[in-house]
Structure 1
Amino acid sequence: MKSLGSRDKLQAAAAASGHRRVLLLVFASCFAFATFLTFLYSSSSFASATTSSSRYGSSATSTTSSSLAGSGPGGALPLPVFDALVHYASFSNATHRMTDTDIRAISAILRARGPCNLLVFGLGAESPLWLALNHGGRTVYLDENEFYVKYLEPRHPGLEAYDVSYTTKVRDFKDLLEAARATRAAECRPVQNLLFSECRLAINDLPNELYDVPWDVVLIDGPSGWNPNSPGRMPSIFTTAVLARSGATAAKGPTDVLVHDYNFELEQVLSKEFLCDENRVAGSGTPSLAHYVIRPGSAGAGFCSAGQDGAAASSQTAGEKTRK
């Protein structure tokens, strides 16, 4: 009997173990099924979110970018911001800065043309202002001082500047002008590829791609010309006159050219010679700022039309203000 009782216990234990196996199998099956349902739900939600993102993400990103940039149509600054920058710049006490009237006259052109491709000869107190006002466009500065370029660039993120090696001197400007007139049909012609120019007034050592940019506005406020050994603005005025009539700049249409310090002899004579009085916009400048609009094909074989040649202008420079 004792032996029989042991068998009954073993059978009972085996039955209980089998029951536990069944329960464990059922539990594992339920867990696997729940996991599978969770995976399906997560996949569906992710797909829905992806679809929604692809449907609305473009406009959302555009809206966010626009909000962060604070820009108006076409990337331009909102007018209140534009006006505020001009207002505070005009009250700046920085040394060697432009007059209030000059700043406002230049700003008016940038508002009309911007965002645009803006080329500026010369770095100065107003350089960050021009960069800000041309928000959404491209602003490039050219200056003869390599150290000043390296000094300003890290202090004004986004400022694109290049140093230029000028070989001219203010004291030689009349001789250089006569040489340019003598070779107007050859080296110093109004339409040419400046990269290969042999004219002494041509700037041909810039980064190559700058010659292919369609410049909308050119501001000539450099290089320096305050003493006879300074490079003077003969090369910048001549190069601008050629750029406006050649290549990509001429192909895109009219170019606004602004010449600062126009109350000095060199700027007047060279501007009349290569930019021409016929292209000057009356009433849009100041006594120290001349505004020209150069149109493709606006001159014949020379820079100016017949009867408007700048050669006659140099005979009228007696008594004009010169730098000391």
Structure 2
Amino acid sequence: MRPKTSQALNSKVLLLGVFVAFILLFVLRSSLSSSSEENASSPGTLRTFAPAKTSSAVKESKSAVDCSPSCDKIPRALAQTLIHYATSSITPQQTLKEISVTAKILEKKSPCNFLVFGLGHDSLMWSSLNYGGRTVFLEEDEAWIEQIRRRFPMLESYHVTYDSKVNQADNLMDVGRGPECTAILDPKHSMCQLALKGLPSEVYEMKWDLIMVDAPTGYYEDAPGRMTAIYTAGMMARNKEKGVTDVFVHDVNRVVEDKFSMAFLCEGYMKKQEGRLRHFRIPSHKESSERPFCPE
């Protein structure tokens, strides 16, 4: 989630292009909406024209328009994001193609509720792409949280402790096949060893539209690994009262992310893989009690 070295310049330029396109789309939508409201009239209605204004009246009118709070303007949060990525030598870990998979879903669903396991150099981007929604980040490193909060106080993040380790993955995979882990329950009250039970209460209470698993650390044997994060994301989606949850898992080139995403998010629910990112769409299992844990 937070590489410390510089990426290639062309990746940075491409990423900036994504943000510029997003901003232009936002402004264009606002402009078109304002224009359509002003020009709307019922069929057959005759237009009336006011007398031409004097030069002083024109100046007063122009001044009023310039100061109007309804004028289209890039939101401050989006402006800060553009400036940050335009001047930063550090770019997000995900590639442009990988980011685009999630960005397309956010374009359809935002503003929405977006839960991200991990806090990194891409966090400001995700929060901005979900402008107007709620984006929450869960991070294992308290010192890193404080560092990011000083730079970006507008981001909502919480510290999370993981008890698992990568070297326990095989055993946890066997545990996950048991009846206590396939029962559709709120992870907070689950008896499954894979369920994360120490998350902030608001994380359990919120119904998430998107969940991304890009943490915790999982590239060495004693690291926490993403076994419990992947399982918990899947159970949050299944336990939702209705609707579909889009779940994304990054670094599926690694064994844990590969096997656990296929087992607990289900290969049958996978919609796309781009590079090291997989996208799953998991329906509510509360709407259909006879729905199997994974589709046939």
Fold-level similarity (TM above 0.5):
yes
Percent of aligned pairs with the same amino acid: 37
Displacement of 1:189 after TM fit? 2.6
Name which of structure 1's ranges 189-198 and 217-226 shifts more when overlaid on structure 2: 189-198
- Following TM superposition, by how much is the alpha carbon of 1:179 offset from its aligned partner in structure 2, in angstroms? 1.4
Over 3 Å counting, the alpha-carbon distance change for 1:191 and 1:152 in structure 2 is: same
Distance 1:149 1:194 in 2: 24
CA–CA separation in structure 2 for the residues paired with 1:97 and 1:91: 17
Give the alignment partner of residue 243 of structure 1, picking from 213, 236, 239.
Answer: 236
Equivalent position of 1:291 in the other structure: 279
Structure 1 match to 2:101: 105
Q: Measured at CA, do residues 273 and 180 of structure 1 come closer, stay the same or move farther in structure 2, by a change above 3 Å?
A: same
Deviation sequence 1:117-163 (CA, Å, 0-9, x none): 00000111101110111110000000111111122123112211111
Q: Which has the higher contact order (CA 8 A, sep 6+)?
A: 2
Match of 1:210 in 2: 203
1:265-302 Cα deviation digits (max 9, x unpaired): 111110111111111114xx412110100011378575
Q: CA deviation at 1:251?
A: 2.0
Match of 1:189 among 179, 182, 194: 182
Q: More deviation in 89-98 or 149-158?
A: 89-98
Residue 141 of structure 1 is matched in structure 2 by 137
Runs of 4+ in 1 over 3 A off after TM superposition: 65-71, 88-93, 298-302
Rg larger for: 1
Gaps of 5+ in 2: 1-67
**Distance in 2, Cα, partners of 1:205 & 1:66:** 45
Higher helix share: 1
CA deviations over 1:93-134 (Å, ceiling 9, x no partner): 426722222122222221121111000001111011101111
1:195-274 → structure 2 map (5 Å cutoff): 195-246=188-239, 250-274=240-264
| 3-state SS of paired residue (2:69) | helix
TM-score (norm 1): 0.63
Consecutive unaligned residues of structure 1, counting only runs of 5 or more, are 1-62, 307-324
Indicate whether 1:158 and 2:151 are aligned: no
TM-score (norm 2): 0.69
Q: Distance in 1 between matches of 2:251 and 2:116?
A: 14
Change (3 A) 1:267 1:301: same
Question: Retained in 2: the 8 A contact 1:118–1:215?
Answer: yes
1:303 partnered with 2:293: yes
CA 178–288 in structure 1, closer or farther in 2 if over 3 Å, else same: same
